Chains A and B, each alone.
Chain A
């Protein structure tokens, strides 16, 4: 009786856990092995030691991609965080039509990145697109350009789409966080003579720190995952100027059939992400200890 009782949790766990180990944890470990091989995807992988990594650190596309991921991260942890927090503060009060405003800002979230990429590609279109049309209409013709074909603007043009989609998400998280701020604390600060800015800076912002941590970590992870927009809008071009690691890896694996090399790229991506995954896990663990 006692023995069978001890087994009960395992009955519940067995099926989901096997699936999870087989499709997530196992594959992750296997990628490490693949990164040490030469593999075309058809014949068996051949062990090559660190050859893929040696090549990777001499590959200029790798460094371009890394730089672009970094630009993505920096944009993501600044613009949507500030804009999302600002909107949350503005909309967390009795404003006529607050529901409409909120829905407008988070509506891009329900669109797939593919749809966002297509619609924005059209907005960026050199001849008929909205952006150049408006620039020409207001006499700023010299600013009009092929946003996605110009090496200087292409990465920022793609990041702008991602930012457009992300602001609503950050806003939702901060709105939830603001629900947890005790209004009495704000009243107390006001009674003590603090102005709006000081109340925000010294009362509200510190109380929102847990939300900010999560927002920043999620933003970084999302930046490192970025693939769909680049794939749909430019495939990394022109001349790899909008390549990001995820897209670089995909092209090496499924267009060039250098799967061992691609695995090495994804391992690098993993190690960069791992830092932030651990920060996140550490946060979750602290919540655990509070129980």
Chain B
């Protein structure tokens, strides 16, 4: 439908403007945050929020980055997220291959164990994982957190990849098998390249999830210098209790990586979300 034709109906035009209004309200938190972050705290206190600022400043971002500690929290988020992401994708593509391509006793049971596990409330794992991590000497290390994320995300990734791998025609794999190709090579050289679209969608989604985790970071880490940005922001909030311009600026800095990912890989992100819910 052309734009002119679309607006030829008054009802459609009215609906369209209603939609614009709702969208603006929806984006209000973002706009509020952006506007707050470039003002000074004094300015908001004396003039109120709805006012034309007397001065504009980027100082809040500098304060949040330096004194607020985001310069150490943000790299930590990557140090935790990237290894966990790769490990979970690698391991889940192994288990997914076994579940998708082989008949063996317990196949179904394992599959349901993985699917069911993804839905567990985290609290039911919290104390034992805390104890296990401590017993392994990994409490307050990045590795402890990486191991947990890798293990927990295995369930969801195995579920998705296994279903995806089942859609790959068996003949391709059979042909390779007849040519004397070993199972491990079939997995690495035939299955993995064919699974790439699903892996891309999954990677985008998993990155966001692991990067945004807060609960496990505060349970498995204690040292401030090791915290990822989510837990760091909570510390920042305690430190700058009334200085909302700095807190909000910090929150905006923390969103940059996932927002960039979303802008450039939006298609994969959405694919991942829907893959998860509609098999």
C-beta contact mask, A219-263 vs B, less than 8 Å → 1, else 0? 001001101100110000000000001100110011000010011
6 smallest CB-CB distances across A and B, nearest first, come from A27-B128, A23-B151, A112-B212, A12-B98, A9-B102, A176-B274
Q: How large is the interface on A (under 10, 10 to 19, 20 to 34, 35 or more residues)?
A: 35 or more
Binding site for B on A (CB under 8 A): 6, 8-13, 15-17, 19-20, 22-28, 30-31, 34, 41, 90, 94-96, 100-101, 103-116, 118-120, 122-123, 125, 127-130, 133-134, 137, 164, 167, 169, 172-173, 176-177, 210-211, 214-215, 218, 221, 224-225, 227-228, 231-232, 245-246, 249-250, 253-254, 259, 262-263, 265-267, 269-270, 273, 276-277, 280-281, 284-285, 287-288, 291
Q: Is there contact, CB below 8 Å, between B104 and A112?
A: no
What separation, in Å, do the CA atoms of A4 and B174 have in the docked complex? 18
Interface pick from B27-35, B54-62, B192-200: B27-35
Interface size on B, residues (CB 8 A): 96
Q: CB within 8 A of B254: which of A95, A115, A266? A: A115
A265 to B124, CA, bound (A): 9
Counting CB contacts under 8 A, is B75 at the interface?
no
Q: Out of B32, B102, B233, which one reaches A123, CB within 8 Å?
A: B32
**Chain A residue at minimal CB-CB distance from B27:** A104
B175 interface contact, C-beta 8 A: no
Contact B92 A273 (CB under 8 A): no
Interface of B, secondary structure class, is helix
Are B151 and A20 in contact, with the CB atoms below 8 A?
yes
Do the beta carbons of B255 and A115 come within 8 Å of each other? yes
Q: A107-B27, A128-B48 are in contact. List 20 more A-B contacts (CB 8 A).
A: A12-B98, A12-B183, A20-B113, A22-B132, A25-B113, A27-B127, A90-B19, A103-B266, A108-B29, A122-B32, A122-B33, A122-B36, A130-B28, A134-B50, A221-B119, A245-B123, A246-B122, A262-B126, A273-B119, A281-B116
The reply to whether A104 and B26 form a contact with Cβ atoms under 8 Å apart is yes
Q: Is B86 an interface residue (CB 8 A)?
A: no
